[in-house]
């Protein structure tokens, strides 16, 4: 998944990787990690696919009193340290989480990342959600992939998306996503400012006419706190006409892409510039994911989509070409 708001993109060629060897390493590491972090025994049986989740799979529990989310390992890992963070209750879609459950889920994601950094398993991460059947979600349970990355771990970075696409919690089962034609990086052409303005206005119109009663965000022209500048890095400032949503706090915003991978591919971006999500405050981090959820609803409505692919390249080693945290939302 390329960073394309400013026209910069990573390579897209795919080559085979030794997934089996990587998975075996992940199993061994997670056995050790789960023994180290597990604080109590699971008394109720949880299912992810047909796999029963036991104490040996739990890396950590959510860091708040509700205990509504857990991080799991040793579930068909695609690489050493690959974790899957899930709500404890059976919830298939991101939109079905309460605000507290959303906070709990992504707090657990963040703590899982910190754990993997401390174990020297990562200097960056790919975070990914396949939200809904139309997004090729392999099981009927919301889950967030936390994929640790290190420099040079894959010959071609985009291979990681194929690995995530094919992941399934059941051992020996390969998820088969619906084929999607995406343009090669070298064939995508930068769109005109007018084209991007027109797309942004389509989303703003949807917010005003359809989603406004249930959506707390505002377009840039409707609120002082929502005004620019909208910096995408220290060197890149987006034109205000590209921005179609700003969170009520003003801590995050959404913008259309200069070179989208598909119609509706938009970015959700924190205001404060930082290359790693760990540098965001708790308020900034949670506002980012709440904004993602609102923006997902907007683009799905406009494009008639039932689900979405959601992803973050957290750090340069994960394929981030613009040194600023951002989340990709692609309606499916």
* 326 given a catalytic annotation: yes
Round to whole Å and give the CA distance between 118 and 282. Answer: 19
List, in sequence order, the alpha helices (H) in 127-281.
159-166, 193-206
| Tokens at 60, concatenated | 């950590």
Count Cα neighbours of 282 within 13 Å in the Cβ-side half-sphere.
8
Which of 82, 168, 326, 328 is flagged as catalytic? 326
The whole-angstrom separation of Cα 126 and Cα 135 is 17
CB 118 within 8 A of CB 40: no
- Written in H, E and C, the secondary structure of 83-103 is EEEEECCCCCCHHHCCHHHHH
What are the helix (H) ranges across the chain? 19-37, 99-118, 159-166, 193-206, 282-303
> What are the phi and psi torsion angles at 19 (to 5°)?
-65, -40
Please tell me whether residue 72 adopts helix, strand or coil conformation.
strand
Q: Which residues are catalytic?
A: 326
């Amino acid at each position: 998944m390329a960073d394309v708001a400013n026209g910069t993109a990573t390579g897209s060629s795919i080559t085979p990787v030794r997934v089996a060897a990587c998975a075996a390493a992940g199993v061994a590491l997670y056995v050790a990690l789960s023994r180290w972090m597990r604080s109590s025994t699971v008394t109720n049986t949880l299912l992810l696919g047909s796999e029963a989740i036991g104490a040996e799979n739990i890396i950590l529990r959510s860091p708040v009193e509700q205990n509504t989310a857990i991080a799991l390992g040793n579930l068909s890992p695609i690489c050493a340290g690959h974790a899957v963070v899930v709500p404890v209750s059976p919830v298939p879609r991101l939109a079905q989480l309460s605000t507290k459950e959303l906070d709990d889920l992504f707090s657990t994601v963040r703590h899982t990342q910190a754990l993997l950094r401390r174990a020297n398993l990562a200097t960056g991460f790919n975070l990914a959600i396949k939200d809904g059947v139309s997004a090729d979600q392999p099981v009927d349970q919301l889950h967030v992939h936390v994929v640790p990355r290190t420099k040079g771990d894959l010959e071609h970075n985009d291979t990681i998306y194929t690995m995530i696409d094919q992941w399934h919690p059941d051992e020996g089962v390969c998820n088969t996503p619906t084929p999607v034609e995406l343009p090669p990086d070298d064939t995508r052409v930068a769109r005109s400012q007018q084209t991007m303005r027109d797309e942004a206005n389509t989303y703003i119109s949807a917010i005003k006419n359809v989603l406004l009663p249930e959506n707390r965000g505002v377009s840039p022209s409707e609120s002082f706190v929502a005004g620019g500048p909208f910096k995408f890095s220290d060197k890149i400032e987006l034109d205000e006409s590209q921005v179609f949503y700003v969170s009520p706090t003003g801590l995050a915003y959404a913008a259309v892409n200069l070179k989208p991978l598909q119609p509706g591919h938009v970015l959700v971006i924190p205001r404060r510039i930082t290359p790693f999500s760990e540098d965001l405050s708790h308020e900034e981090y949670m506002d980012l994911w709440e904004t993602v959820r609102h923006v997902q609803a907007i683009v799905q409505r406009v494009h008639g989509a039932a689900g979405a692919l959601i992803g973050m390249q957290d750090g340069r080693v994960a394929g981030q070409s613009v040194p600023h945290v951002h989340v990709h939302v692609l309606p499916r």
